[in-house]
Structure 1
Amino acid sequence: MRFADLDSGDIALFTRADEVLTKAHHPQRHQVAAAMLGASGRVYVGLHLGSRRVNICAESSALAAAQIAGEESITTALAVCLGTAGTAQVTNPCGVCRELLATYCPDAMVLLDVEGTVRKAAARDLLPLPWLRPEETDWAAALPALRNDGGR
């Protein structure tokens, strides 16, 4: 995976997500906030919604807000949670959010915690082998077979 360095816009987006989380944080109901920058320059925020049985990710609610507003594309996305020191830190998207980001905004850059350093990568690279139905692929499905080349 190729990573890119951050810019001042990324810091501003982090600050916006931090503001949402600071205002709404609840240890069970609102653990994560997200912010997404649209190509229009508008910022869309989302908040994790949780109950005893159901959780809705902050990234999916921010993406829904952008879709509802008619945003053409998302350029940058991130989510934050509270770290052990009680301050916001970047948190990586779950598998469902990676699939949504790759579907709705594959070219968007997503801020990630890469072993303690915040970097960014394209949404399409976060889920290298997405789930697809056989009719959605451009290759013929095959039955499993043993390989004799040692996996090369």
Structure 2
Amino acid sequence: MTSRPPLVRPADMSDADAELLIAARTQLADVYREGRHEVVAAFRLADGRIVTGVHVDGSARRSAVCAEGVAAGNVIAAGGTVVAGVSVLRRPGGTEHVIEPCGVCAELLTDYWPDARVWITRGAETVEAAMSDLLPAKRLRGW
């Protein structure tokens, strides 16, 4: 097993959000398979629970499901509300990076939890943002 390079905790990341980073990295270490399971999303719920989701890729590219979408389904199944999240990608060389949700996942997550916070990488920095800031011109869907 390859040792994991350090993924530096941002100085302004709270201890609670650092737990999300640890949960995502730990799950990723357990399930990583190059080209199949390369991303884990970890969400903290309003009641403090942490829920994760694993990226699932398939042979037909359209069958892929992002980690954030899997985690969102797990949150709904758990009856929770997301307050914060982080997603970690492992590259084939072993480096790990905090990443932002893709556009489709940003749409999904802001449909359910627009006020949640998410950690993303901007340039060389990992920063906190409001989920709703990921899509500033989002059209709100009337449920």
TM-score, reference length from structure 2: 0.84
After superposition, the C-alpha distances for 1:16-52 in whole angstroms (9 at most, x for unaligned) are 0001111101112101001000001100000000012
Q: Secondary structure at the match of 1:49?
A: coil
Aligned residues: 129
Instruction: Confirm or deny: 8 A CA contact 1:59 1:78 kept in the other structure.
Output: no
**1:57 — aligned with what?**
66
Percentage identity across aligned positions?
A: 36
Residue 121 of structure 1 is aligned with which of 110, 114, 129?
A: 129
Instruction: Confirm or deny: 8 A CA contact 1:112 1:121 kept in the other structure.
Output: yes
Instruction: Confirm or deny: 8 A CA contact 2:106 2:131 kept in the other structure.
Output: yes
- After superposing on structure 2, the runs of 4+ consecutive aligned residues of structure 1 that deviate more than 4 Å are none
Residue 79 of structure 2 is aligned with which of 70, 75, 78?
A: 70
Q: 1:84 deviation in Å?
A: 6.7
Instruction: Confirm or deny: 8 A CA contact 2:111 2:140 kept in the other structure.
Output: no
What RMSD, in angstroms, separates the aligned Cα atoms of the two structures? 1.6
Unaligned ranges ≥5, structure 1: 137-152
**2:115 — aligned with what?**
107
Q: Which residue identity does 1:112 align to in structure 2?
A: I
Q: 1:60 deviation in Å?
A: 0.8
How far apart, CA to CA, are the structure 2 residues paired with 1:31 and 1:128? Answer: 28
Unaligned ranges ≥5, structure 2: 1-11
TM-score, reference length from structure 1: 0.79
Residue 26 of structure 1 is aligned with which of 14, 33, 43?
A: 33
Q: 1:86 deviation in Å?
A: 1.2
After superposition, the C-alpha distances for 1:60-108 in whole angstroms (9 at most, x for unaligned) are 111110100111x211011101147513220111001110111110010
Q: 1:9 deviation in Å?
A: 1.4
